[in-house]
A and B are shown apart, each in its own frame.
Chain A
Amino acid sequence: ETGVTQTPRHLVMGMTNKKSLKCEQHLGHNAMYWYKQSAKKPLELMFVYNFKEQTENNSVPSRFSPECPNSSHLFLHLHTLQPEDSALYLCASSQDRLTGGTLHFGNGTRLTVT
């Protein structure tokens, strides 16, 4: 039990589909993050939310659209993705952005774009 739950665990989608990834944390944290993990590349920070406000968008293409309705939930809406977007998408949380080194990760969603 990691305290950070991501669904679904696996997702296969075509390039014209629209899907959403969900993340929920039960740790009472105020900051949430989306990271992308691709083979042989460092983890890439995509988005940061602190107290529901987006504080960072790391030059992510607009086909990825985050949503943070409250401090416990984070979504990543996907549309018209490309095959190179296939990766493991990891959600993480921390007490707040200032303690953002002590991250608690979910197990990730393995996304395959066909």
Chain B
Amino acid sequence: GEDVEQSLFLSVREGDSSVINCTYTDSSSTYLYWYKQEPGAGLQLLTYIFSNMDMKQDQRLTVLLNKKDKHLSLRIADTQTGDSAIYFCAEKGGGADGLTFGKGTHLIIQP
């Protein structure tokens, strides 16, 4: 089946940029997503990118997609303590219901 892989942890200093990486295997992916989960809450959609794009920027968030290598990244500029959460990469294959998620990356902010 399709897989989405992410590192489990990332630690950054407050004010630095965070880069969370993700790889996926489904070559028919149409859209790729980043979701954020804060403690005790469900997942919240942060941003998404269509598979024929290679970059999308939304305020402090930059998504880069390398479709050839099936690699997706999320860059958070000027990381703040409120960015501390679990970040999930997800992909939607053509015609599939629902999303395939990675295990999530815990973003830890050091003061």
Contact = CB atoms under 8 A, between A and B. Distances in A.
A113 B45 CA distance: 30
A107 to B, nearest CB: 5
A55 B99 contact: no
Contacts of B31: 101
Contacts of A66: none
Interface residues of B, number: 23
A90 B99 contact: no
Q: Which interface residue of B8, B35, B101 has the most chain A CB atoms within 10 A? A: B101
Interface string A2-29: 1010100000000000000000000000
Contacts of B35: 103
Interface string B42-61: 11110010000000000000
Interface in B56-111: 88, 90, 92, 97-104
Interface residues of A, number: 27
A41 B102 CA distance: 8
B20 interface: no
B16 to A, nearest CB: 27
B41 A107 contact: yes
Contacts of A45: 97-100
Contacts of B102: 42
Interface in A74-104: 90, 92, 97, 100-104
Contact of A103 (B99, B103, B104): B99
Q: Which interface residue of B42, B101, B103, B104 has the most chain A CB atoms within 10 A? A: B42
A42 B4 contact: yes
Contacts of A48: 97-98
B42 A105 contact: yes
A60 interface: no
A15 to B, nearest CB: 26
